[in-house]
Chains A and B, each alone.
Chain A
Amino acid sequence: MAHPARAGFGVTGWLLASALACLLLKLAGYVLPTAVLADPRVGRTTDLVTAGCLAALVVVQTVGGDGGGPVLDARLGAVAVAAVALLLRAPFVVVVLLGAATAAGLRAAGLG
């Protein structure tokens, strides 16, 4: 494994920092007074930040390119098929596999 002595913080460093931040957030729940939850805005805002993050990630993963405006390609078909599968209550893994198969199939057919 490559461990250059002076590689700066590096990707692994950032991954570890992100992991520790998530762990500290989990721990914060056990250390903070439960009274924090008495304000309904706390739970609601957290819910919506989660949903907003995930919605934005769907967008970025579907139409994001190498900088610049939205790119429309095989990923759009993948998300459309995934949405239909979710409507039909398919389990998560099936949804992910259908997304991959759709994108790969569209590309093999010369689309996107």
Chain B
Amino acid sequence: MAPDAVPVPDRGPGALRRSPAVRQGFSVGLATGLYGLSFGALATAAGLGVVQACLLSTVMFTGGSQFAVVGVLAAGGAPVAGFASAALLGLRNAVYGLQLAPRLRLRGWRRLLAAHVTIDESAAVSAAQDDPVEARRGFWAAGLGVFAFWNAATLAGALLGDALGDPQRWGLDGAAAAAFLGLLWPRLRRRETAAVAAVAALVAVLVLPVAPAGVPVLAAAAAAGALGWWRTRPARGSA
């Protein structure tokens, strides 16, 4: 065998337990579960019930959108503004699905299940694998792993947040601001994205005094989207 040959993926008995992608996916799930704790606590601090917080984690199951809905409601925004913010943040999952569909090649209920666990983490773990078999394993391990830990942690966090009482005394409003910065941070590595994020933040500050809660986020997202669409060069031949 040539020294630089691609290693043949392990397909024997117990292969799943030895798979690096499965291990990676599982540890990502465990780590992400901890964010779930902060989501549950922030959701109840924002006035949601424990059941409502858990409903978001089981059915919506996409962290950014969940934090957004809770953030808009906590700020006193209309639920429809929360809906729009969640949907805008959920747009990227559609792009992940487009990238994953040809790799996973699923039909029927498996496709529905795959779509449900298509999130930042499962897309990233899958994309990090060179071998297609490992890419599939990584996707499922991360997706299902995050789902399990995220939901268990949401329940625990929501019960904890309920027991804490006055959210401001515990600095939970500061925690919410820090959480959004933590979600944004890894995206700022690309300079152009950081510049557009700065423009979006400026739009939000300017719109804040003149618009009802929730609208500043939508205005900023619209500005960022417009910049992305008009400043990106279309594919060859389409213009």
The answer on a CB contact under 8 Å between A30 and B228 is: no
The answer on a CB contact under 8 Å between B98 and A36 is: yes
The answer on a CB contact under 8 Å between A92 and B98 is: no
Cα separation A66 to B209 with both chains bound (whole Å) = 10
User: Binding site of A, secondary structure by majority: helix, strand, loop or mixed?
Assistant: helix
Residues of A within 8 A of B34 (CB): 92-93
The answer on a CB contact under 8 Å between B175 and A96 is: yes
Does B200 belong to the interface (CB within 8 Å)?
yes
Kindly state the interface size class of chain B when it binds its partner. 35 or more
The answer on a CB contact under 8 Å between A45 and B228 is: yes
The answer on a CB contact under 8 Å between A56 and B201 is: yes
Q: Give the residue of A18, A41, A56 whose beta carbon is less than 8 angstroms from that of B216.
A: A56
Chain A: CB-nearest residue to B207: A56
Kindly state the interface size class of chain A when it binds its partner. 35 or more
The answer on a CB contact under 8 Å between A104 and B169 is: yes
Cα separation A68 to B230 with both chains bound (whole Å) = 32
Q: How far is the CB of B11 from chain A (nearest CB, A)?
A: 26
The answer on a CB contact under 8 Å between B116 and A51 is: no
The answer on a CB contact under 8 Å between B179 and A52 is: no
Q: A45-B225, A56-B216 are in contact. Are A19 and B35 (CB under 8 A)?
A: no
The answer on a CB contact under 8 Å between A30 and B217 is: no
Q: Give the residue of A26, A68, A107 whose beta carbon is less than 8 angstroms from that of B118.
A: A26
Does A7 belong to the interface (CB within 8 Å)?
no
The answer on a CB contact under 8 Å between A27 and B112 is: yes
The answer on a CB contact under 8 Å between A58 and B177 is: yes
The answer on a CB contact under 8 Å between B91 and A25 is: yes
Q: Give the residue of B51, B102, B118, B179 whose beta carbon is less than 8 angstroms from that of A34.
A: B102
Does B148 belong to the interface (CB within 8 Å)?
no
Cα separation A67 to B196 with both chains bound (whole Å) = 25
Cα separation A83 to B201 with both chains bound (whole Å) = 15
The answer on a CB contact under 8 Å between B75 and A70 is: no
Does B129 belong to the interface (CB within 8 Å)?
no
Residues of A within 8 A of B228 (CB): 41, 44-49
Does A111 belong to the interface (CB within 8 Å)?
no
Within 8 A of A (CB), among B162-195: 168-185, 187-188, 193
- Residue from A55, A67, A99, A102 with most neighbouring chain B CB atoms (10 Å): A55
Which of B15-23, B79-87, B132-140 makes up part of the contact surface? B79-87
Q: Give the residue of A17, A30, A56 whose beta carbon is less than 8 angstroms from that of B114.
A: A30
Chain A: CB-nearest residue to B101: A30
Does B65 belong to the interface (CB within 8 Å)?
yes
Residues of A within 8 A of B98 (CB): 29-30, 32, 34, 36-37
Q: A58-B181, A93-B38, A101-B171 are in contact. Are A53 and B83 (CB under 8 A)?
A: no
Cα separation A34 to B116 with both chains bound (whole Å) = 18
A-B contact pairs, 8 of them (CB 8 A): A11-B79, A25-B94, A48-B228, A52-B196, A56-B203, A59-B205, A75-B174, A78-B178
Which B residues form the contact surface with A (CB < 8 A)? Answer: 31, 34-35, 37-38, 48-49, 51-52, 55-56, 59-62, 64-65, 67-69, 71, 73, 75-76, 79-80, 82-83, 85-102, 106, 111-112, 114-116, 118, 168-185, 187-188, 193, 196-201, 203-205, 208-209, 212-213, 216-217, 219-221, 223-225, 227-229, 232-235, 238
